[in-house]
Amino acid sequence: MNILAIANSQIKANGGSLVPLEGYADSLGVSMVSSRVDALPHAGKNRANMARYADDPAIVRAIQAKRYDYVLVTSRNSVWDREGEQEVFDGVARLHDIVVDAGAELALWEAGKTEFGVNVWMADKVHGAVLAQHATGALMFAFLTGRDPTGSAYRGSTQETTVPAAQAIWAQHAAARLLKAERESGFLP
C-alpha cells in the first residue's frame, strides 16, 4: 500500500499519526510505503488551509508524481459541518478530483477531540497529545487496511517515544470496535 500524506501540523505535531500508522503496518506484516509532502503554511485555520491544498503546486506535483493508493489529509475539525464555508468544500472537492485523476483515493481524516470516547486529544489548543496520535495511527491502520490492530506489539508514537502497553492496547481495542461498527453499518466492507 502506497500512501502520500499531506503533512500539515495535524500529521506532524507530537510525533504525528503517520509514525504509528507505519508502525502498526510493520508490526502486523502489512506492506506500506508512505511519503510526505509538506503543506505550505498559510495564515488561518486548518480548515481554510485544506481549501488551498488543491492550489498548492508542490502538493499537486507530489500527488501526480507516482501511483498512490491513498492521499491522506487530516483536519482537526469536519470540513462538512459548518455553513458558509463553501470555499473549504470547493477546495476539498478540487483536491479529490486531482487525487482521483491520479488513480488514488482521498482519505480525509477528521480527528475530533473525543473520537475515542474520552478527551485524550489536546496537547495544546489544536494538536493531539502523544496518546491521541498513537490511537489515531491505530485507527487509520484499521480503516485503511481493513485489519484489526488488536494484538500488535507496536507501542511507538514517535521514533523516540513509546506509549505504555495498557494505553496501546486500549487504542487497539478502540480502533477494533470502531472498525467493527463501521462494517456493521455497511460503511466499510
Which CATH architecture best describes the domain 2-185? 3-Layer(aba) Sandwich (3.40)
Tell me the pLDDT of the chain (189 aa) as tens digits. Answer: 999 888 776 666 666 788 888 899 999 999 998 887 776 655 445 555 666 788 888 889 989 988 899 998 876 555 555 555 677 778 778 888 999 999 998 887 765 555 554 555 555 666 677 787 888 889 889 989 999 999 998 887 666 678 888 888 988 998 899 889 988 998 777
SS3 assignment for the chain? CEEEEEECHHHHHHHCCHHHHHHHHHHCCCCCEEEEEECCCCCCCHHHHHHHHHHCHHHHHHHHHCCCCEEEEEECCCCCCCCCCHHHHHHHHHHHHHHHHCCCEEEEEECCCCCCCCCCCECCCCCECHHHHHHHHHHHHHHHHCCCCCCCCCCECCCCCECCHHHHHHHHHHHHHHHHHHHHHCCCC
Are residues 157 and 131 in contact, defined by beta-carbon separation less than 8 angstroms? yes
**Structural domain boundaries of the chain?**
2-185
